[in-house]
Structure 1
């Protein structure tokens, strides 16, 4: 027994996170032809370099948010970018330009609102809710940005060797 106090979110995450050597994930869709979601994609090997037990709640949230953003962006056409909507406020949307975390428990979203005004949201991982929205790209002179792929530029080395569907290690 330990004297460490955890929030219910931390306790639940700790209980489900170690699904063997990899984090658990799952999804169900009503449409059998629905586009693959982040839970169905191969986990980048880079996410398994550091043992799950060594990652903070903030780092785990950060890495999984990137997976969701990348997957969402992969389904956008060239005229749309990803933005984040806010629940329960009149703040509108934030065009995501950056994402960060500060251990042990803070996530930060950087971007701009519909008028181009800079915005930053700092949120505790226990309060994390995110709505991804496709918004029209603002300038036709440059291609739509894909922030999810910039955030994880070193993740694309293939699936972790222990992940289902990956080639077995030599």
Structure 2
């Protein structure tokens, strides 16, 4: 018989574990880098109940953008398309939120025009797209990594 270590959680710990964020992904490629692999920024390990819907969506979008960028080669950057829309692709240059329920994306569209998308969290439906980087740009811009640094530095992602 093997010895199994048993732990007993207090009712407070059980309640906290129930409200802490959970993430699960399954892919056909077993080598696929999941958004949940590696260390999550500290902001993503805090209870969602302490955040507005906008802040909580903002923090998770950052995690997905960063993970998507890890899979890109040096000729591509992350772009954004709206599911079910013919608005085209926006090369993401910034991301923000306005409490309690607005997410905003800043970037440049396929024609090179400055673009800002403002979206209510209840309408969140974003497609991340591998977009070719600008030909005059030696290295791709990795916005996900810059955004994630902010989540690690500051427990309140609003600053």
* 2:39 pairs with one of 17, 38, 42: 42
- Give the number of equivalent residue pairs: 138
Contact 2:81-2:129 within 8 A present in 1 as well: yes
- The corresponding residue for 1:111 is 107
**Are the structure 2 counterparts of residues 25 and 142 from structure 1 closer, same or farther at C-alpha, using a change threshold of 3 Å?**
same
Unaligned runs of 5+ in 1: 1-17, 158-170
Unaligned runs of 5+ in 2: 1-15, 154-159
* Residue 20 of structure 2 corresponds to residue 22 of structure 1: yes
Q: Which has the larger radius of gyration?
A: 2
RMSD (Å), alpha carbons: 1.9
C-alpha displacement of 1:19:
4.3
Contact 1:97-1:147 within 8 A present in 2 as well: yes
TM-score by length of 2: 0.78
**Are the structure 2 counterparts of residues 153 and 63 from structure 1 closer, same or farther at C-alpha, using a change threshold of 3 Å?**
same
C-alpha displacement of 1:153:
1.7
C-alpha displacement of 1:89:
2.5
**Are the structure 2 counterparts of residues 91 and 43 from structure 1 closer, same or farther at C-alpha, using a change threshold of 3 Å?**
same
- The corresponding residue for 2:6 is none
C-alpha displacement of 1:40:
3.2
C-alpha displacement of 1:20:
4.0
Q: Distance in 2 between matches of 1:155 and 1:60?
A: 11
- The corresponding residue for 1:97 is 93
